[in-house]
Amino acid sequence: MSAPREAKKRTTRRKKDPNAPKRALSAYMFFANENRDIVRAENPGVTFGQVGRLLGDKWKALTDEEKQPYEAKHAADKKRYESEKELYNATKA
């Protein structure tokens, strides 16, 4: 536990920081980017309800090796975020 996102109305949050250093995308984001093509291609007709859940299920189905390409993407994106962070504390200060 640590993040009980049960009824946490999380949707299009808002920025509270001065320059809002938006975080980096998650591995899931990259994964979804490629999966949306595959999953939907393999499951023609499945709506967000199905694909969405199926996607997450498959996501974990992958192993660290599978996630590697996605994690790598996230790592690259994270660096991008670092730039924001830098400018953030640089501007905010």
Partner DNA sequence: ACTCTGATTGTTCGC
Partner DNA sequence: GCGAACAATCAGAGT
76 near DNA, rule: CB under 7 A: no
Residue closer to DNA (CB basis): 33 or 91? 33
Chain centroid to Cα 89, Å, comes to 24
Residue closer to DNA (CB basis): 12 or 65? 12
What's the CA gap between 14 and 54, in Å, rounded? 29
Total Cβ atoms within 10 A of residue 76: 12
CB of residue 9 vs DNA: minimum separation in angstroms?
A: 6
41 near DNA, rule: CB under 7 A: no
According to CB under 7 A, which residues from 2 to 21 bind DNA? 2-4, 8-17, 20
Helices (H) and strands (E) in the chain, counts: 3, 0
